[in-house]
Structure 1
């Protein structure tokens, strides 16, 4: 499996590249900014989770990763609907966001289980 730190960074870079293909308009500009913001937060918060001070801190940072990946997926779905795009890159990014959410949720559950077993 690809290192998640690199994978989350690549997701952000790929979303930025996708946003460069969006027509420039006042309406799309705010959506582009939202996608860039949320996708960059995925990688930044995953990176911040790694040196977490405790399991609870780690979980809190991963919850942000989960939320931001899900939000990124939302913006990608919006672009798909309003631009009527059904291109491979949009679909790939939606799939990647979904996989990042699933991986993050699984990691959170694993750490929570370990915390509960240590009580």
Structure 2
């Protein structure tokens, strides 16, 4: 499937895919807590990117992009943890992990470009 060029849409789809993934996981105490963290961080990637697009200045743009990248890194952490503890669902988690790494790289490239 071809990924959308629109980064707002792509971050939205990432957050949606995370929510679809966590629906299939067993309801253990650790999964429940880790899933809550993933829901928060995955949604924050797109929310902060959207706020960056409504920048109030160059400093605000850079700040919001860095927060979005930080949330991407955090999402990757929670995804990796969930994947390690639920390897039977790696067919769902692998594509989501690849996507968040691509999004992190894209955000890093934008940050680098805007700081020049």
TM-score by length of 2: 0.92
Match of 1:62 among 60, 65, 75: 65
Count of equivalent residues: 113
Bigger CA radius of gyration: 1
Q: C-alpha offsets along residues 29-67 of structure 1, whole Å, 9 cap, x if unaligned?
A: 100100000000011111111010111110100001101
TM-score by length of 1: 0.90
Task: Extract unaligned runs of 5+ from structure 2.
Answer: none
Match of 2:45 among 42, 46, 52: 42
1:79·1:85 contact (CA, 8 Å) conserved in 2?
A: no
1:38-117 to structure 2, matched below 5 A, reads 38-85=41-88, 87-113=90-116
List 4+ stretches of structure 1 deviating above 6 A: none
Measure the CA separation in 2 of the matches of 1:6 and 1:78. 26
In the TM superposition, residue 85 of structure 1 has moved relative to its aligned partner by 3.5
Report the 3-state secondary structure (helix = DSSP H, G, I; strand = E; otherwise coil) of the residue aligned with 2:115.
Answer: helix
Please provide the CA RMSD for this pair.
1.1
Measure the CA separation in 1 of the matches of 2:84 and 2:29. 17
Q: Does 1:27 align with 2:30?
A: yes
Task: Extract unaligned runs of 5+ from structure 1.
Answer: 114-119
